[in-house]
Structure 1
Amino acid sequence: MSHGHERKEKNCLNCNARVFGRYCHICGQENIEPKESAFGLITHFFNDITHFEGKFLTSLRYILFRPGFLAKEYERGRRASYMNPVRMYVFTSAFFFIVFFSLFKVSDEKVADSYSKLEERLKNTNADFNVNFLTGKITVDKVVVGNINEMDRLNERLIDSITKLSSLKKDSSVVADSSVESDFTIFNFGTRYRSIQQYDSVQQALPAEKRDGWIMQKLNRKATYLNNKYAKSPGLAFSRIFDVFLHKLPTILFISLPLFALILSLLYIRRRQYNYVNHAIFAIYYYIFCFLALLLYFGNDKLSELTHWSIFSFIEIVLVLLFYVYLYKAMRHYYLQGRAKTILKFLFLNFVFLFVIIFLFAGFFIFSALNI
């Protein structure tokens, strides 16, 4: 409730209904004077913040320490004391991906250009040259020599030392001639074409019934374009694919959530008291927990990199196991079935959902490759 002065008039300014008391029984608007002071605005702001914080912390405590409890409360209609699950999902997922993209910077055009220059310098060597586009670490023969995100700081002396390191294993008999066309392919739908024009001419020469369909033509044209564009820079191609793919992760998780709920609804199809929305709410709370646990996992991983203490490796294993233990506990407490039935359904849920995730990742990876 705000601290504004109540109006003497008893008509709602929002819907014009007659007001009995301080709030309109039709739209819920408070019947106060429309002119608000600066102090009133500040007070209203802090009231909203503390109200949000209170509900969030209450819901957070139950999510972390009482698996399945909030989903059960939602089913029973006890909702006013807790933060709305959809709103909490949006908030936690947004916070998670802000942290995620801050910790793991995906490659941009500047980084991709740096990679091309470095690859050009090392193309005539026979070293195991690799760039991890999640962490940015450059390795030559599994030795970390720099970071792709700091290529502008790498002077010629360091570049020369990388070249010398990579040349230690150089074998002139197996080094490829740079003038020879690379066999690199991102996609291979049967035959590799040197150009889109060559593909079109081959298609025109075929009888109408043997030509590729509209979809295959689109795929082959795009594949031909990408294979030739990145023939001499395969690492650059995969860095850009990885860049697009990482930005699709929120979409992948958002799509996977209703599919997760669908699997649950099929597993508990004989439990008529649960409809699809109940399973979706359960899935939303589980995803919120996963976002929070992943934040702990990534934070632990960063501490492990800084300290190199073995204890953090043990904590990572515990956190991974926690995902499965939490899900089992949540299913047990929410659906109220015996241990044997819950374990069987838990195993089936994870087995089927694994294939769903693989399918989504593969589909979005192909989509990312076609959009670089």
Structure 2
Amino acid sequence: MSHGKLREEKDCLNCGHIVEEHYCPHCGQQNIETRQPFHYLFTHFIEDFTHYDGQFWGTLKNLLFKPGKLTTTYLEGKRQKFVPPVKLYIFISFITFFLFAVFPPFSIDFEGKKNAEKEKTISLNRLAETSEKLDSIRTEEKMKGTDSVTISKVNALLKDSARLSDIEDSFDMSKKLDDDFKFNGYTNQKSFDSAKAKNPAFYDFINVPVAHKFFELKEKGVSKGEILKNLIEISFHNLPKALFIYLPMFAFFLWIFHNKKKWWYFDHGIFTLHYFSFLLLTFLLFSFLYKLTTVTHTSISIIIYLLMNVLFFYSIIYFFIAHYKVYHTHGVISFIIGSILFMFNFFAFIFLVIGLGVVSFLMIH
């Protein structure tokens, strides 16, 4: 394998030793020309990672279709056959979040209904006219029983329409934080701080900063769409860091439920890196399939949605299969431990997402 044009000279530019072939036997540096074409910067990175010798593609194949294989092989000491766990996780994480930044998996309307005010006004006027006609019918002295039933049904429809209108207002992303918006019943920071000074609570270390940020954004006249957009962007930016922090926690849960003498924390860390690499790669594939549904025919989209469901359930079953093959416990015991771990991590991950949302909200400017 060659990453660039080899030098005619046989002296190593790094340490000065004689280089018989491609690599220096003393320091390992490749004896190539110091100046290369611009595209070499990118091809060199890809070649270094994939090796073009099947190591990278073999790693991906085993990661996707042979749960637990990479972890078992690595812990057995066979560490040259596949890409190292840390390097694999960092690479897949980088590719995943880079592609998500360039091609967002989901599109959200942050502008709301700025262009729908006219339609909304027309609808409200029609509702008002209908209500006036009903009132005029009620005032008539003689009214049949069927008319009474009809009026009751129409009244119910009007109430539902009004309720739907309120729901639509709540999803109107163009609406700014005005006096209608309150935090725990308070419309401004002064009244909130005064109430908290009289009645402090144990969760104020979270509640107070969030409230202050809310009132700060309210004073700036920020719209709900702008807040949501900034919240998603900041959360997406912080997500790789949050996942990296969560890795040792996931490994810690594994350490709790397994034999401490047989399995070291290091072993659980390797399992965790491989499993999270699989999850990131699966999420990337899931997003790619979702993108395809927006540009394909309806019949093909149905097949793609079916594949997405299969991928979703496979990502859940994958953990139990990998856990069973790596830790070699009895099938029933492995399933019970796996279920407990799955539940623990489910709630821990929800807590992580909530924490990420709070931190991201506090970082909005």
TM-score category of the 2 structures, normalised to the smaller one: 0.5 to 0.7
What is the distance in 2 between the residues matched to 1:368 and 1:354?
A: 21
Deviation at 1:299, TM superposition (A): 2.4
Task: Determine if contact 1:264/1:279 at 8 Å carries over to the other structure.
Answer: yes
Give the match for residue 325 of structure 2.
333
What is the distance in 2 between the residues matched to 1:251 and 1:336?
A: 32
The 5-angstrom pairing of residues 287-302 of structure 1 reads 287-302=276-291
The 1:354/1:293 distance shift into structure 2, 3 A limit, reads: same
For 1:64, give the aligned amino acid: L
Deviation at 1:24, TM superposition (A): 5.3
Give the match for residue 186 of structure 2.
192
The 1:323/1:265 distance shift into structure 2, 3 A limit, reads: same
For 2:237, give the aligned amino acid: H
For 1:334, give the aligned amino acid: V
Local SS of the residue matching 2:337: helix
What is the distance in 2 between the residues matched to 1:358 and 1:345?
A: 20
Local SS of the residue matching 2:349: helix
The answer to which structure, 1 or 2, has the higher relative contact order (CA under 8 A, 6+ apart) is 2
Deviation at 1:311, TM superposition (A): 2.5
The 1:279/1:209 distance shift into structure 2, 3 A limit, reads: closer
Q: Which has the higher helix share?
A: 2
1:82-103 superposed Cα distances (whole Å, 9 cap, x missing partner): 1122111111112112233303
Give the match for residue 303 of structure 1.
292
1:16-36 superposed Cα distances (whole Å, 9 cap, x missing partner): 9999x97556x5557x6x975
2:257 is aligned with 1:267: yes
2:227 is aligned with 1:237: yes
Give the match for residue 166 of structure 1.
none
Local SS of the residue matching 2:323: helix
For 2:339, give the aligned amino acid: L
CA RMSD of aligned residues (A): 4.3
The 5-angstrom pairing of residues 345-364 of structure 1 reads 345-364=337-356
Larger Rg: 2
Give the match for residue 281 of structure 1.
270
Deviation at 1:353, TM superposition (A): 0.3
Give the match for residue 236 of structure 2.
246
Deviation at 1:342, TM superposition (A): 0.8
TM-score of the superposed pair, with normalisation by structure 1 = 0.66
**Unmatched runs of 5 consecutive residues or more in structure 2:** 125-159, 170-174
What is the distance in 2 between the residues matched to 1:327 and 1:209?
A: 44
The 5-angstrom pairing of residues 1-372 of structure 1 reads 23=24, 28-29=28-29, 45=44, 48=48, 51=51, 54-101=54-101, 102-104=103-105, 112=110, 114-115=111-112, 117-118=114-115, 182-185=179-182, 188=183, 190-194=184-188, 196=189, 202=194, 218-229=209-220, 233-268=223-258, 270-305=259-294, 306-309=296-299, 310-372=302-364
**Unmatched runs of 5 consecutive residues or more in structure 1:** 128-168
What is the distance in 2 between the residues matched to 1:207 and 1:298?
A: 49
Task: Determine if contact 1:115/1:236 at 8 Å carries over to the other structure.
Answer: no
Identity %: 27
Task: Determine if contact 1:85/1:284 at 8 Å carries over to the other structure.
Answer: yes
Deviation at 1:241, TM superposition (A): 2.0
Task: Determine if contact 1:265/1:279 at 8 Å carries over to the other structure.
Answer: yes
Task: Determine if contact 1:52/1:83 at 8 Å carries over to the other structure.
Answer: no
Task: Determine if contact 1:230/1:236 at 8 Å carries over to the other structure.
Answer: no
What is the distance in 1 between the residues matched to 2:266 and 2:322?
A: 16
What is the distance in 2 between the residues matched to 1:250 and 1:276?
A: 22
The 1:339/1:123 distance shift into structure 2, 3 A limit, reads: same
The 1:214/1:95 distance shift into structure 2, 3 A limit, reads: closer
Equivalenced residue count is 307
1:161-212 superposed Cα distances (whole Å, 9 cap, x missing partner): xxxxxxxx976xx889x9x954224xx3x45143x45556x479x68999x9
What is the distance in 2 between the residues matched to 1:214 and 1:82?
A: 46
